[in-house]
């Protein structure tokens, strides 16, 4: 059914529009939304009725709270950077801000807030400049609660964040420092977690290319920062992590050579 509807070729558009919201509301019952044609239907629906899709995700976040069951996934993060394309539609930025405002009004202990990062990542996909600027503006002059929510969203971003958006990293940490130490710690921890996410691959006993790239990038960034800047501690910590990982791989290589000898 969703294959037919998502394709948009076999069913008149008017007929789909009349039933789209009903179909979206029924998706609350599914344990997950990972079926290929369900995702295709959601991508199409985001283009046609983004408000209804965001309403579905809110409903699923609340359903997760009611169930208290982590096997129920409101909306999963896609590691290939794709999402439902919320920020590609005109109403996307407004709807994302409304979603953040909604989560801000939820209890901080609610699972609906714990999983807001996955939901935003699933809705938006890659973290591009417009989305990052929106997060920065939304958090600026906000409270610890604002920073906590943004930290949850940044935690679900991709490793490319620190490489492709160094200005954002610096700006968001500066804003977090103005809010307070806890806010700064949350944001810094989330960016660090995102930097370490993803799959590492390489030759046994040789440093992973990801760790080498991270080491080089951190050295370059540290050379441009003062020690008093909030971003300094982030890159200093990431540099130590990268060097530890590289040294560990070298120890593995030495152990392999000893065995061969």
Whether the Cβ atoms of residue 134 and residue 170 lie closer than 8 Å to each other: no
Output the pTM of the full model.
0.89
pLDDT in tens, 1-42: 676 666 555 555 555 666 888 899 999 999 999 988 899 899
Task: Return the pLDDT at 261.
Answer: 58
Number of domains into which the chain is organized: 1
Q: Is residue 62 part of a domain?
A: yes
Instruction: Give the domain range for residue 41.
Output: 1-126
Q: How high does pLDDT run on average in the chain?
A: 89
pLDDT in tens, 184-231: 999 999 999 999 987 777 787 788 999 999 999 999 999 999 999 999
Q: Which residues contact 153 (CB under 8 A, 6 or more apart)?
A: 116, 117, 120, 121, 135
Task: Return the pLDDT at 182.
Answer: 96
Task: Return the pLDDT at 122.
Answer: 95
What tokens does 112 get?
């609906």
Q: Which residues contact 233 (CB under 8 A, 6 or more apart)?
A: 188
Task: Return the pLDDT at 237.
Answer: 97
Residue 116 has pLDDT above 90, yes or no: yes
Of 69, 154, 73, 83, nearest in space to 115 by CA: 73
Residue 101 has pLDDT above 70, yes or no: yes
Q: Is residue 169 part of a domain?
A: no
- Describe the chain by its helix, strand, coil percentages, rounded to 5: 70, 0, 30
Q: Which residues contact 167 (CB under 8 A, 6 or more apart)?
A: none
More confident residue, 12 or 61: 61
In the predicted model, what is the mean pLDDT of residues 70-75? 90
> What is the percentage of the chain residues whose pLDDT exceeds 90?
68
Q: Is residue 218 part of a domain?
A: no
């Amino acid at each position: 059914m969703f294959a037919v509807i998502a394709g948009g070729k076999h069913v008149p558009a008017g007929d789909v529009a009349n039933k789209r919201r009903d179909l979206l509301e029924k998706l609350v019952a599914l344990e997950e939304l990972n079926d290929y044609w369900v995702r295709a239907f959601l991508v199409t629906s985001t283009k046609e009725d983004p408000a209804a899709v965001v309403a579905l995700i809110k409903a699923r976040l609340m359903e997760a709270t009611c169930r208290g069951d982590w096997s129920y996934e409101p909306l999963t993060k896609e590691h290939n950077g794709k999402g439902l394309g919320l920020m590609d539609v005109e109403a996307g930025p407004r709807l994302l801000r409304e979603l953040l405002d909604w989560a801000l009004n939820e209890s901080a202990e609610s699972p609906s807030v714990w999983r807001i990062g996955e939901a935003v990542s699933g809705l938006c996909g890659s973290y591009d400049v417009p989305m990052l600027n929106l997060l920065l503006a939304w958090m600026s002059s906000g409270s610890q609660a604002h920073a906590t929510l943004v930290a949850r969203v940044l935690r679900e971003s991709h490793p490319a964040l620190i490489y492709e958006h160094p200005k954002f990293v610096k700006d968001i940490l500066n804003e977090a420092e103005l809010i307070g130490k806890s806010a700064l710690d949350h944001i810094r921890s989330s960016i660090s977690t995102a930097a370490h996410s993803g799959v590492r691959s390489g030759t046994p006993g040789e440093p992973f290319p990801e760790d080498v790239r991270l080491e080089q990038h951190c050295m370059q960034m540290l050379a441009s920062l003062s020690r008093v800047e909030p971003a300094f501690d982030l890159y200093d910590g990431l540099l130590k992590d990268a060097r530890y990982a590289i040294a560990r791989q070298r120890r593995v290589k030495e152990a392999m050579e000893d065995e061969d000898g």
